[in-house]
Structure formats: structure tokens, C-alpha cells
Chains A and B, each alone.
Chain A
């Protein structure tokens, strides 16, 4: 599946330079100083069948955290739990807790809409609204009652998403009339326009070509300055290239109850996980022997 062989991984370039100039990374500390999410004993079931179980994890603020693992390991389910998008699935139930900046996300008086306002999301397939580029970006601010200075908000968000120069002359054109990579950056701009605290990305490049993918990855590294980012990817090179820390999940089939269910195997600084994984399942997955 991947070009790497065993042991060390010459195929995976860990810290490649962004295409357009250096963005020096700050040192990633061993210990997580401040966590944006504290996940404890968390599990999700769909209609009684567990999808993920027993996951405990502290996702650091101001970093990029990647969730990787074979398909069916529940990494998307975990991601969608972080902004309560799973609520939209009627049969989904959860156990355990997720604290977002110290607040229980699932507390009775928490408003999911309020949660999603602070925790933005970018989806696997670019999904701009069937509206103009401008209206796409202005959607969130308008939703929350903003009507003045929208031009500035839209421009700032599009600039931040490295899309402004490409679309500034066609802001009134429909959001689906641009290329797939541009659409995905539009979706990122749409999320940024909300001034969120965290951005969740669910395999944001899986529908894009390699060049568009590189652009999004560059963009992620730039956004890291301002936002905490959690990204789900099935592309390990991508995880290695962009993330500061990586969580590896797998499908656990030897669970006591005999059901297939996603579990966390290992959570480490990306560099360490990809060079000296402590669990052999991680090792097997990232070297392409499994998955």
C-alpha cells in the first residue's frame, strides 16, 4: 500500500519544507502543556453496536493532531464527536466524557450549535453551499447575527485560506464553479470566517489531486499559528508531513465481547511515532504490513 519497507522509513519525509518558503515550526514539547480536548474513557455506539470504545486522549492546544488508522477504526467517529456532529445521527450514543477547554461537551445544558460555532469542521468532500463564493464565506457570520463589515470578514477569511488572489474577481460566482482544491480551501475559509478556536478536518484531501493536496497541507501549517487543528487522514505521509502529534487507532477484534470496535493504540509526537513506535501494531500499520 505504501512505499516504505521496514524499520526506518525513508519513504516518509518527516519535515518537508512548504512549497512557498519556510515556516519554521516551533519546537513540539514532549509534554502537553494546555489541552484543548481532554477525552476520557470515551466510546460511541451506533444503534447499540460500539464503533469506538475506551478512548482516553489529551489533544494539545495550538498544535496539529493527526488521527490515523485503518478504515473502520472509528477515527472519523472520534473526530465527529469533538464538535457533536454525531448528534445528527439519530442512533448514535456515547459513553465517557470529552472536555473542551475544561467544559464537558455533553453536559445537559450545552448547546451543540454553540459548540460547533467554536469548533469548525472541514469535510472529506468539498461541500460549498449552492450560493456565491462570498455568501459561502459570509454564511457563518450572518448566521450569528453579523451584518456589518462582512466584506472585511470575507476578505480576511479568504486571504487566510490562501484563496483570495484566485477568487477576488469572482466573489459573486457560485461556490461550486471553482476547482475541487479551491472548493476545499473555500470550505476552510468558510470555517475560519467563524473565528473558531479549533478546526477539525475529516480527510480533507482525500478527494483532491496531489498539487491541491500540497496546497491544503501548506495551509494547515500556516493555520497552526492561530488554531488548534485535529485532522483525520488515511494517508500516513500526510500525517507525517503536517502533524505535531499522531494518534493511532485500530480495529480491535480480540475484544472480550467479540465485537469489532475502534480503540486507541498509541498517541505520540509524530516524529517519535513514525520512527520508534512503541506498539508493534503501530509499527505494522505505518510500515504497510497491515491496513
Chain B
């Protein structure tokens, strides 16, 4: 095998069928990539096509601002009345309650884990909070409906209602009667459900604050809390807003747990203790009994929900992207 004679190198051309495999493989990969777009496109196209007649029948604006929802029973045309405002209102209220409750807690948790927890505890603590994200939403619904709300939340709600309902103005939001399923019950359980996603992203954002700045602040005699408030929270503000919006997106779209806890009344009310309905929840609650025309109306609600969540998600992604993609949040 001494140095090969020139003849050995006689052909550098590709031989065999192997050379066709490369472009084929590349095209397969491109097709797979594009199919993700195709699925999304198909998703928008087919649902919008179904929802369109409903928007035409009810009027596009009226569909969103009218609060009269009366399911029709026709197989062929539209006979009911389809104003989805009650559900939109319910979705927004429940999501707002969830954010208000979850955000401070998520910030406390992420600050505690990144700044105060003993080094050995950081991993396990973060992991435990993220485990909340692994609990299926129907388990939250079951637990909330049959245990958490009747055992813990309902006494609290009754207390709140008794204390605050007589107060003028403010009382409107706490007016009874208090049943187990209402906006506040759904919002509270939802807060637990979105806690891990807000925590996970806030934690990554907070961990990215340059350590020199933190050191500098300590060097100037700042206390732990001053460092957290003036350096860390200020620096990570856009990221935390992004994290909150991702949580909001999740809260808006959450279906089953909300469906089990919100009340399901097709109306809306200003009281936190009102048993209303939300967009996703209403679809889940009434789909199985819906006549064809109402199914189309439910699809129209779905389209509205899709538009709202996509806008929220896109804004959130833009905010979070500024600080780089957060690895692993897809799993949450």
C-alpha cells in the first residue's frame, strides 16, 4: 500500500445511487419544515371558512359586542342569536384574575430561586415549580371543583362577599350570592396553572442580568432588596412583561379547568362571584349538544379566541426574543 500510483485516482465522479439521496433528503427536510406552516395555514383557513357564515349572519362586530347568545337547532341555516360578548368578557376577567394573582407570586419565586435560595436548593426548587406545568388541566379542574374551591376558596369568597358587598361601588365587584363555580374560582386555579410558565421565563430573564451590575450595586452598599428592586427587576422588566404575556396567552386559551370552574351561565356580570362562561370553556361545555349551526357559531368563537391569543403570543415572543429564545419553554 505504498504511495498509490496515479491510476488509482482515476475517478472522482460520484458513483452509485447515493448521489441522488442528498437532494432528496434535503427536499424531505424542507417539506417537513413547510408542513408546519401548512398545518397552521390549514388551521386558519378551515376554521375561518366555517366561521364566516356566522359572522355574516350575525354581523362581524355584533358577534363580538352583543351579549345575547341563543343556540339555534337548525341543520341547514341560522336561526339562533350569536353574540359572544359574555364569553369574551369572561375570558378576559378570568385571565386578568389569574395574572394578578400569579405575577407577584411568580416574581417572588423567581427572585427567591435566583438570588436567595441556597445553591443546592436552586435546581430542586425550580424543578418543583415546573412540575406544576406537568399536571394536566383536567386534574386541576377536578381538584379545584371537588376539593380546593369548596374546602378553601369558598369560605374565603363568602367572607370577602360579606365584608365588601355592602361597600358602595366596590361592592359591585363582590356581590353575592357566592356559589362554588364563578370567575374568581376559575381565575384562582388558572393562576396556579400559569405560575410555572411565568416563573420559568422570569427566572431565565433574571439570571441574565449581568453579575457586574449586581456586584457594583452591592459595592455601593445596597441591600439585597435594593439590588433586586433597583437593578434586577428594572433590567429584566421587558422580559418579565413578555413572560407575563405568555402566561396571559396560556390563560386565555385554557379550556377544561376553566370550563369546570367558571359556572357556565352564558351571561356576564361585574361581580367576581358571578358564574359566567369563557370563550374556550363555552366551546367545551356546549359542543357535544350543539346543532350544526351552533357548532359553526362555536367555531367562530374559536376563531375570535385564536386571533386574541395569537396577538398576545406574538407580542410576548417579540419581547422575550429581545433577550434570546428561552430554551425549553415550549415544554411548559
Touch test A–B (CB under 8 Å): yes
Where the two chains meet, the residues of A that have a C-beta atom closer than 8 Å to any C-beta of B are 34, 36, 61-62, 100-103, 105, 107, 109-111, 113-115, 118, 195, 197, 225-228
Q: Separation in Å of the A44 CB from the closest CB of chain B? A: 19
Complex contact A109–B9 (CB within 8 A): no
Q: Name the residue on A nearest B22 (C-beta).
A: A113
The 3 closest A-B pairs by CB, nearest first: A111-B14, A62-B3, A101-B9
Q: Separation in Å of the A169 CB from the closest CB of chain B? A: 27
Chain B contact-residue range equals 10 to 19
Q: Separation in Å of the B43 CB from the closest CB of chain A? A: 34
When distances are taken between beta carbons in the complex, the residues of chain B under 8 Å from A100 are 9, 12
From A102, A109, A115, contact of B6 by CB (8 A): A102
- CA distance in complex: A102, B12 (Å): 11
Residue B30, interface by CB 8 Å: no
Complex contact A115–B12 (CB within 8 A): yes
From A105, A195, A228, contact of B12 by CB (8 A): A105
- CA distance in complex: A100, B11 (Å): 11
Complex contact B14–A113 (CB within 8 A): yes
Complex contact A225–B2 (CB within 8 A): yes
When distances are taken between beta carbons in the complex, the residues of chain A under 8 Å from B322 are none
Complex contact A114–B13 (CB within 8 A): yes
When distances are taken between beta carbons in the complex, the residues of chain B under 8 Å from A101 are 4, 6, 8-9
From A105, A111, A118, A225, contact of B13 by CB (8 A): A111
Q: Separation in Å of the A20 CB from the closest CB of chain B? A: 22
Q: Separation in Å of the A157 CB from the closest CB of chain B? A: 12
From B1, B15, B18, contact of A226 by CB (8 A): B1
When distances are taken between beta carbons in the complex, the residues of chain B under 8 Å from A195 are 1
- CA distance in complex: A61, B5 (Å): 9
Q: Separation in Å of the A288 CB from the closest CB of chain B? A: 34
Residue B75, interface by CB 8 Å: no
When distances are taken between beta carbons in the complex, the residues of chain A under 8 Å from B1 are 195, 226
Q: Separation in Å of the B172 CB from the closest CB of chain A? A: 64
Complex contact B12–A111 (CB within 8 A): yes
- CA distance in complex: A135, B12 (Å): 26
When distances are taken between beta carbons in the complex, the residues of chain B under 8 Å from A36 are 3
17 sampled A-B residue pairs with Cβ under 8 A: A34-B3, A34-B6, A36-B3, A61-B4, A62-B3, A101-B9, A103-B9, A103-B12, A105-B12, A109-B13, A109-B14, A111-B14, A114-B11, A115-B12, A197-B9, A227-B3, A228-B3
Complex contact A226–B13 (CB within 8 A): no
Q: Separation in Å of the B160 CB from the closest CB of chain A? A: 59
When distances are taken between beta carbons in the complex, the residues of chain A under 8 Å from B4 are 61, 101, 197
- CA distance in complex: A228, B5 (Å): 12
- CA distance in complex: A109, B13 (Å): 6
Per-residue CB contact flags for chain B residues 1-43 toward chain A (1 = under 8 Å, else 0) read 1111010111111110011000000000000000000000000
- CA distance in complex: A40, B45 (Å): 59
Q: Name the residue on A nearest B11 (C-beta).
A: A114
- CA distance in complex: A99, B1 (Å): 22
Q: Separation in Å of the B305 CB from the closest CB of chain A? A: 42
Q: Name the residue on A nearest B7 (C-beta).
A: A101
- CA distance in complex: A191, B8 (Å): 18
- CA distance in complex: A61, B1 (Å): 13
Q: Name the residue on A nearest B13 (C-beta).
A: A109
